[in-house]
Structure 1
C-alpha cells in the first residue's frame, strides 16, 4: 500500500500549491489613493513615446535591474570600469543622474569596490526607492514587488504538477497497487490524474487571469513594457533597452556579462 502514501502526498502538494496560488492572485494590491501631481506626471510621461530606461528596468526586474542598468550605462560611456575580476572602478566621479551618483557613492571614496556590494547598495538606495514610489503612485508598479507572491505560487503549482506525475509513475512500480480504494475497477493512474488535473487546471486559469506574471509591474505597467521595444540614441541605446528589459544576459560582451552575472544574488 505504499502507493497510497504517494497518492496522499500528491493530493497534499496539489491542494496546498493551488490554494497558495488562489490566495496570491486574489490578494488586492494596496490602494495608493488619489494620484499626486508627481504621480500624474509619471503617468503622462509613460503615456508618451516610451518609459524612461530606469522606469523600464524597474518594471521589468525591480531595483536590482535598475542597478544593473546603471552599471552597464556607466561602463559603456566610460564613466565606470566593470572588470571581469568582479570589481567596479570609478573613472568619472561626476554622475549624470541621481542613480549614477548613487552607484559612485556605493563604490566609496577609494574609487573601487566589488560589484555585488555596489549592486546591492545601489538597489537599496533612496534614489531607487523614490523611483519605485513614483511608479507605484502612478499605478505602473506593484508595491514592494507584490507580484513576487504570484510568481512564486505559479512555480509551486508547476512543481506540484511534476511531483504528481512522478509519484504516479512511481506508483505503477509499487507492489500492492491492486488494492485500490473505491473498488478494484479504478486504475491507479486515475487517482493520480485527479490532482494532476487540479494543478493543470489551476495553471490554465492563472494564465488566463493573471498572465503575464510579473513581480514588479502592474497590468498597466506590463502593457507599457510590451510597447517598449526601441530606444532613441543608436546602437548603444538599443543595448541599454535590452538590458533594462531582459537584464545582464542581453549584454553582448561576455566578460562584462560574466562580471555582472556574478553579482546577481537577487532575481
Structure 2
C-alpha cells in the first residue's frame, strides 16, 4: 500500500514545520516583564525598518534642521560637523572628512555603526526587538507551514488517485487521515496570525504594540510628527519630493 507512506511523509512535513513555528514564536515572543510605554524616534525607526531606517531617520532629521544638505542627485553635504548624539556622529563620520558623499554608502556605513548595534541590544534586552538570530525565523516558519499544508493536500490527492488501493479500503477514510495533518497545519497558521501577526523582522509583539500606538500620532507638519512618520513609515513618508528623490537616486 502506497498511501500509508504518503501519510507518513505528510505528518513529517507538518510536524517539522509546526514545531519550527512554535519554537520561533516562543523565542520572538514576548517578554511579559516589558514595562515600556513609549519609544524614542531612533527606537521606533529600528523596530519599523531596522538599522537602515535608523540611518535614514538621522539623515532626514539633520537635513530638517539644516545641518545637512540632501541633494536630489543623491549627495549628502555636511553643514554642521558637530553631531549631537552618537547616531549623528556616525553619519558625519560616514560622510568623511571632505564633508560630502553619496547617500547610499553613508546610509550603509551608518547602519552598521556601533551606536546602532547598541540600540538594537537595548531593545532586545527590553523585550521590544526580535533577537538577531530569530529575525527572519517567524516569517520563514510561516512559509514552511504553508508549504507543508500544500504538500499534505498534494500527497492526499496522490493517495486518493492511486489505483492500487486494496479492496475494502475506503477513499473517505483515507481522505480523513490526510485531513488530520492538514487541520494541524491550518490551525498553527491561524494561531500564529492571532498571536504574532504581523510577522515583523525587527519588532517583537510588545514592540509592535508600541509602534501601533505611535503610528496613530505620526500625522502633522511639526518636526516631531514629521520625523515620527519617517521613523515609522520610512523616507517615502517625507513630505518634500527632493528628500525622497535624494534617497531614491541611484
Shift, 1:109, TM fit: 1.6
Cα distance, 1:117 vs. partner?
2.0
User: Which segment drifts farther, 250-259 or 19-28?
Assistant: 250-259
Q: Which residue of the other structure, out of 96, 109, 117, is the alignment partner of 1:129?
A: 117
Aligned pairs (5 A) from 1:189-204: 193-204=179-190
| Structure 2: unaligned runs, 5 residues or longer | none
Number of aligned residues: 247
Please name the residue that 1:75 is paired with.
63
Listed one character per residue, the Cα deviations across residues 139-193 of structure 1 (whole Å, up to 9, x for unaligned) are 433443644322332233345445666x479x58xxx644458935249976765
2:26 aligned residue: 26
Partner of 2:236: 249
1:16 alignment partner in structure 2: 16
Determine if the alignment matches structure 1 residue 107 to structure 2 residue 99: no
Equivalents in 2 of 1:79, 1:180: separation in Å? 77
Counterpart of 2:77 in structure 1 is 89
The Cα RMSD (Å) is 4.2
Structure 1 residue runs of 5 or longer lacking an equivalent are none
> Hey, what does 1:238 align to over in structure 2?
225
My pick for the range that moved more, 12-21 or 120-129, is 12-21
Q: Deviations over 1:91-118 (max 9, x none)?
A: 3323332211211111112223333322
Q: Distance in 2 between matches of 1:232 and 1:128?
A: 26
Structure 2 counterpart of 1:157: 145
Correspondence for 2:40 among 31, 52, 55: 52
- Contact 1:139-1:221 at 8 Å conserved across structures: yes
Cα gap change, 1:10/1:93 in structure 2, threshold over 3 Å: closer, same or farther? farther
TM-score, structure 2 length as denominator?
0.73
Aligned partners of 2:66 and 2:79 also within 8 Å:
yes
Q: Give 1:183's aligned residue.
A: 169
Q: Where do 1:210-249 residues align within 5 Å?
A: 210-228=196-214, 229-230=216-217, 234-249=221-236
Distance 2:138 2:102 in 1: 33
